[in-house]
Chains A and B, each alone.
Chain A
Amino acid sequence: MFGMLRCLWDYRGFVISSIGNEFAARFARSRLGGLWMIIHPLSQVAIYALILSNVLAAKLPGIDNKYAYALYLMAGMLAWNLFSEIISRCLTLFIEQGNLMKKMLFPRITLPVIVMGSALLNNLLLFIAMLVVFALLGQTPNLQMVWLLPLTLAVVALAMGIGLILGVLNVFVRDIGQVVPILLQIWFWFTPVVYPVTIIPEELKSAVNANPMYSIVSAYHDILVYGKVPDLQQVTITVLVAIGLMLLGLFMFRRAAPEMVDAL
């Protein structure tokens, strides 16, 4: 484990420049370049807001902003976007970089770390864009936003854990790569991002509580929409789950690394 960290530290220049390269490459040919990374989720928010606001807006208690639903959507999207980006990129990461892994010797752990850094950078940009939109809609930044820092780390840990496990498995069982996007879609709709948790029937509440993303998304809601301290107890459980998955993912990555090149 410490060997892995040492390697990462030795290759820090490479990791940072790779993240920068990825970012630069996005701007290379399209006029708006990296802005698309913000426009996509924001337009998604706009679509949901437009179509669903009349259905759902009335059921969003506790805020008096008339754009409450849009704010709610954006807060949830901020968390979910990071989560799903990391998972879906980790999923195909080793297959995409297969040729490189076969022919060059470098610490493989840098690959998921680059994905993580790149996703974090995107998320930061999205967050800044959202702050601007929030300000336009009359929601001012508050002090509770500091909580987003540890929460982001929790999302990253959870997503990296799941992503590593699935990415490693996908090298050997390619069906994983096909089934995961579907499962992610389902997971998205089972997480209260688009709708408030209050519309879920009472008998299904316990199922929602078992969803580790639920506590995170609702913490984002608490901070960004309601401006209050999130429910730390729920988040702690998610963090523990995330750490567990992360360790499992790293373990599998380590065990699989020698065989991965064989199978690619």
Chain B
Amino acid sequence: MSLLVVNNLGKAYCSYSSEWQRIARWFYLPVKPQEEHWTLKHISFSIEPGEAIGIVGQNGAGKSTLLKMITGTLQPTEGSVQINGRIAAILELGMGFNPELTGRQNVHYAAGLMGFKAEQIEQAMPEIEAFAEIGEYFDEPVRTYSSGMQMRVAFSVATAFRPEILIVDEALSVGDSYFQHKSFNRIREFQEQGTTLLIVSHDRGSIQSLCNRALLLEHGSIIKDGAPEEVMDFYNAIIAEKENTKVQARQLEDGSVQTRSGTGEASIESVGLYNAKAEPIEFVSVGEPVSLRIITRINSDIPELVMGYMIKDRLGQPVFGTNTHHLGCKLESLRAGETLEYRFSFPANLGVGSYSIAVALHTTDIHISCNYEWCDLALVFNVINASKTPFVGLAWIPPTVECYR
């Protein structure tokens, strides 16, 4: 049985020429709204237990509206949300805290607001107090707290009871980095115990490390539903997208999806990785000197051109990226019909695993300013450890060791 089924959900905000007409409607008078503004339409998806889903989208895409309807604070205009289990939302921490009351009293209040009985709250109280780790301040008025301490208490109470579905909003910066780790640990623990996560974030890292599926919202509908990396690439392409540009997604042979976007004044013809003997390779051993060759065609006259590339790990986290602007090789006044070949040579000081390379052609050093072509997953290669000492991690940082005793 699905944990959450969202079926053809839609939300319209109605405006009336007079608010009194709205009020007349409550009394079943036939009044037509002057204007209906749909912020969300035809949203359907379902979530199975234990999944972790990231919701991404630009500001105003409808993320908050969707979350509020799933939480139940907002009534859908059409469609339905079906939930089998308790849902908890960390949309804003410290909601309704009264600064004059102590942390303990506020915890009582907040947990009561979540619908828990006094005995349940009493039972969970030592746990909450211990998790917040604010010591004696727990019995001091909240107005004496630092904002970080308030966040600690708020997070502790919000996650005191494990829900079946946990909604976490992007703005989840819970105090200092120590507590941030602690709170993410708790979220992961919940996930291991079977809680389904619903995370809204712009942070590629947290989406890719926590989620196994992502939904991309744009203009109030889901335009992509798939693996986080694929969705995030698509999302980045949308951000980079300018007028009259196309975002294309092409299925690669191994099943992953490649995203291309850009205005097309210059295009990438081929991308290849070569070893020292100038042979194309797919498997690279740690530390091996390699050369990334990118052939580019100029389709119309352009004043300047910068080529950039980014090596990403399996989860799509950037490992290394740079461009010809930074490398001091910016080209100017290019003519239509020219073909260029870039060769980037570097030692593959990478850890064992699968990596992808994204390449981009643009004008200045920021690739969204004028984006000719941008191609994710242009190349996928694997790093194997053939000759080095065993190690873990993303980078090959060979140490020497001395030991004194």
Please give the residue numbers on chain A whose beta carbons come within 8 Å of chain B beta carbons, in ascending order: 10-11, 13-14, 17-18, 21, 24-25, 28-29, 97, 99-106, 169, 172-173, 251-252, 255-259, 261-262
Which 5 A/B pairs are nearest by Cβ-Cβ distance?
A14-B112, A258-B75, A255-B26, A28-B100, A25-B100
Kindly report which residue of chain A lies nearest to residue B105, judged by CB atoms.
Answer: A21
- B interface residue count range (under 10 / 10 to 19 / 20 to 34 / 35 or more): 20 to 34
Determine the distance from Cα of A19 to Cα of B141 in the docked complex, in whole angstroms.
18
Determine the distance from Cα of A256 to Cα of B13 in the docked complex, in whole angstroms.
14
B residues near A261, Cβ cutoff 8 Å: 68, 73-75
Determine the distance from Cα of A173 to Cα of B23 in the docked complex, in whole angstroms.
10
Name the one of B20, B87, B101, B117 contacting A173, with C-beta atoms under 8 angstroms: B20
A interface, by DSSP: helix, strand, loop or mixed? Answer: helix
A residues near B73, Cβ cutoff 8 Å: 101-105, 261
A residues near B23, Cβ cutoff 8 Å: 169, 172-173, 252, 256
A104 engages B26 (CB within 8 Å): no
- When A17-B112, A21-B109, A172-B22 are in contact, do A103 and B95 touch as well, CB less than 8 Å? yes
Q: How many A-B residue pairs have CB under 8 A?
A: 86
Determine the distance from Cα of A17 to Cα of B75 in the docked complex, in whole angstroms.
28
In the assembled complex, how far is the CB of residue A239 from the closest CB belonging to chain B, in whole angstroms? 24
B residues near A21, Cβ cutoff 8 Å: 98, 101, 105, 108-109
Determine the distance from Cα of A172 to Cα of B21 in the docked complex, in whole angstroms.
11
In the assembled complex, how far is the CB of residue A9 from the closest CB belonging to chain B, in whole angstroms? 11
B residues near A169, Cβ cutoff 8 Å: 23
In the assembled complex, how far is the CB of residue A192 from the closest CB belonging to chain B, in whole angstroms? 33
The answer to whether the Cβ of B267 comes within 8 Å of any Cβ in the partner chain is no
A residues near B118, Cβ cutoff 8 Å: 13, 17
Kindly report which residue of chain B lies nearest to residue A175, judged by CB atoms.
Answer: B19
A residues near B75, Cβ cutoff 8 Å: 257-259, 261
A14 engages B113 (CB within 8 Å): yes
In the assembled complex, how far is the CB of residue B40 from the closest CB belonging to chain A, in whole angstroms? 13
A residues near B91, Cβ cutoff 8 Å: 103
The answer to whether the Cβ of B127 comes within 8 Å of any Cβ in the partner chain is no
Q: Which of A28, A99, A251 has the most CB of B within 10 A?
A: A28
B72 engages A11 (CB within 8 Å): no
The answer to whether the Cβ of B85 comes within 8 Å of any Cβ in the partner chain is no
B residues near A105, Cβ cutoff 8 Å: 71-73, 87, 89
A residues near B68, Cβ cutoff 8 Å: 102-103, 261
Determine the distance from Cα of A210 to Cα of B92 in the docked complex, in whole angstroms.
48
Determine the distance from Cα of A24 to Cα of B102 in the docked complex, in whole angstroms.
10
Determine the distance from Cα of A14 to Cα of B117 in the docked complex, in whole angstroms.
8
Determine the distance from Cα of A262 to Cα of B91 in the docked complex, in whole angstroms.
17
Determine the distance from Cα of A18 to Cα of B286 in the docked complex, in whole angstroms.
63
As a 0/1 sequence over residues 62 to 104 of chain B, the CB contacts with chain A under 8 angstroms (1 = contact) are: 0000001001111100000000000101011001101011000
* Known A24-B101, A99-B95, A103-B95; 9 more pairs at CB < 8 Å: A17-B108, A18-B109, A28-B100, A97-B96, A101-B73, A103-B68, A104-B89, A169-B23, A252-B23
The answer to whether the Cβ of B135 comes within 8 Å of any Cβ in the partner chain is no
B residues near A17, Cβ cutoff 8 Å: 108-109, 112, 118
A29 engages B13 (CB within 8 Å): no
The answer to whether the Cβ of B328 comes within 8 Å of any Cβ in the partner chain is no
B19 engages A103 (CB within 8 Å): no
B92 engages A103 (CB within 8 Å): yes
In the assembled complex, how far is the CB of residue B11 from the closest CB belonging to chain A, in whole angstroms? 9
Q: Which of A14, A17, A24 has the most CB of B within 10 A?
A: A14
Kindly report which residue of chain A lies nearest to residue B106, judged by CB atoms.
Answer: A21
B19 engages A172 (CB within 8 Å): yes
In the assembled complex, how far is the CB of residue A106 from the closest CB belonging to chain B, in whole angstroms? 5
B residues near A25, Cβ cutoff 8 Å: 98, 100-101
Determine the distance from Cα of A251 to Cα of B23 in the docked complex, in whole angstroms.
12
Determine the distance from Cα of A234 to Cα of B105 in the docked complex, in whole angstroms.
45
Determine the distance from Cα of A169 to Cα of B19 in the docked complex, in whole angstroms.
9
Determine the distance from Cα of A252 to Cα of B105 in the docked complex, in whole angstroms.
33
